Amino acid sequence: MSFLLGRQKFAAAALILGISAFLSRVMGLVRDKIISWQFGASGEADMYFAAFVVPDIINYLLAGGFMSITLIPPLARGFEENEADAWRFFSCAALWMLIGSSLLTIGCEIFAGPLAAVVAPGFSRAQTLRLAFFTRIILPAQIFFLSGACFTALLFLRRQFAVPALTPLIYNGLIIICGLVFPSFSTDPGYGMTGYCLGVTIGAALGAFLLPLVCARQAPMKLSLTLWHPLMLRFLIIALPLMLGQTVVMLDEQFLRVFGSMLDEGAVSLLNYARRIAQTPVALMGGAIAAASYPFLARLLAENDIKSFNTALNKAIVNGAELIVPLALYMIVASRPILTVIFQGGRFDARATLACEPLTQIMLAFAPFWVIYMALARGYYAREDTLTPALIGTLIALLSVPVYYLVALPLGAWAIALISGAGVTIYALWLIWIWISRYGADAFRNLWSLSLKSLVISLAAATGTWAYLRFWQNAMFPDLPFFSACADCAASLTIFSLIYFSLAGLINPSLNRRIFGFIKRKIKPAPR
């Protein structure tokens, strides 16, 4: 196919997306570090984080985060059969995405006040008004995200991963720049986090829309004003479950914000900071593997190579699970020095670190199920089955709401974190059971045995690391918390790694080979 340019092999694609995920997470942590330094776990930070609820739901309603999943399969077949007709289909899909995102954004801009009261029922009247103000600034970003997602899907189809990998870096970078620079142009003492909100929209416009559009135009594009195309029916069949099905994974962060707003001031911020730490290893292990594997899984199914499909899916699931177990356990044990390094300082004091620690540990405990879900979901989507994940995930989300109300709110933020992780775990296990009943267990070959071995080894390493931190934490620089925490992170990671890889070499040498092989492939791209 002549339109497929700049192809990267799976390992190279995983490398590019892995580096992007890592750098994006680092920039996200830097962004939140700056926010926590300036605003801590305060009402102003709570309102900023809550301002994303309505825009994110717009994104979910139009399946923006799944554009590559919904658009790639019918578009790929279209280019195989008739390239000119495929461009008409792409034009139609992009046009309706622009129309839909614009209409939803305008409607939410008009009703931002009432919507703010709904998504943060625990906020005061003044906080609700400021939340509506923040929401109105952030809302236009969804037009750029959703419209740009069409061009990003086209780049994925061409197997051009470099530019999509830059999108989150530009987005996060502009949020930081605008948050730091814009206040210098304002004389309003209550300016607060307005600059960060402006950075969201500017970052989306430049990083998520303009950059993919410019890159996509480097190859011939034949866009037209097309309002309907027969392939739109197939596109809608794939996309509608993702649009209508608000799954527990999609709403997880929103649940933390909505129910956190009903607790004491700062709860939304603390839950957000904890989630930021817990989701970092998930994105590094699961996000890159899932995103890179999907085009290849879709191609293998198109070629009816079921055996290779199961092998590729199994590799993605097992690699992700084996890597996330030790990383999550280490971060659970070392959560206090990690939080001290990343967030403590300025208005985020030692008390905030102690309050955030158990929330982070609880969320990290469920990280393996997040990674398994992310890889397995791509298997469902490659089979063009978006209905099953949508139905199951939506059902769990609906059942979670009364549990949050009746159980979590009386107990506090830690219970919100626990129910959040439990919902994702049930979701992942349910999807596994359905997959096995339909397609067999080949995709999960050796998953449980290898994960159990990794867990046993990781627990031993975590015990040794805990012992060190129990008796020696803050011993090196007791009067300098940041430097002491850095030293504790370095020493504890060294201890954990030595114990883990030593035991793995004795108990399961193949585990070390797979882990080091995975790391090597991340560092050195495969030849083209």
Average pLDDT for consecutive 10-residue bins of the chain (528 residues)? 42 63 79 90 90 88 68 79 88 91 95 94 92 96 92 83 83 92 72 90 94 86 85 78 72 92 92 93 77 75 85 88 91 95 90 95 96 91 85 92 94 96 96 95 90 91 93 76 91 94 80 62 47
Eight-class DSSP state of 441: S
Asked if 469 contacts 413 with a C-beta cutoff of 8 angstroms, the reply is: no
Residues contacting 291, CB < 8 A, separation 6+: 17, 68
In this structure, how many other beta carbons lie within 10 angstroms of the beta carbon of residue 409?
Answer: 16
Asked if 431 contacts 388 with a C-beta cutoff of 8 angstroms, the reply is: yes
Collapsed DSSP state (helix, strand, coil) of residue 160: coil
Q: What are the backbone angles phi and psi of residue 345, rounded to the nearest 5°?
A: 140, 155
**pLDDT at residue 18, as a whole number:** 62
Q: Give the pair of three-digit tokens for residue 127.
A: 């906080």
**pLDDT at residue 297, as a whole number:** 83
DSSP for 236-265, written as a single string: HHHHHHHHH---HHHHHHHHHHHHHTTSST
Whole-structure pTM value: 0.82
In this structure, how many other beta carbons lie within 10 angstroms of the beta carbon of residue 190?
Answer: 8
**pLDDT at residue 431, as a whole number:** 96
The residue type at 227: L
For 4-61, write each residue's pLDDT tens digit: 333 445 556 556 666 776 777 788 888 888 999 989 888 899 999 999 999 988 887 7
**pLDDT at residue 105, as a whole number:** 95
Residues contacting 434, CB < 8 A, separation 6+: 388, 392
**pLDDT at residue 61, as a whole number:** 76
**pLDDT at residue 6, as a whole number:** 39
Look-up: residue for tokens 């999509």? 164
Domain residue ranges of the chain, discontinuous segments joined by +: 1-244, 247-450
**pLDDT at residue 199, as a whole number:** 95
Q: Give the pair of three-digit tokens for residue 483.
A: 């430097």
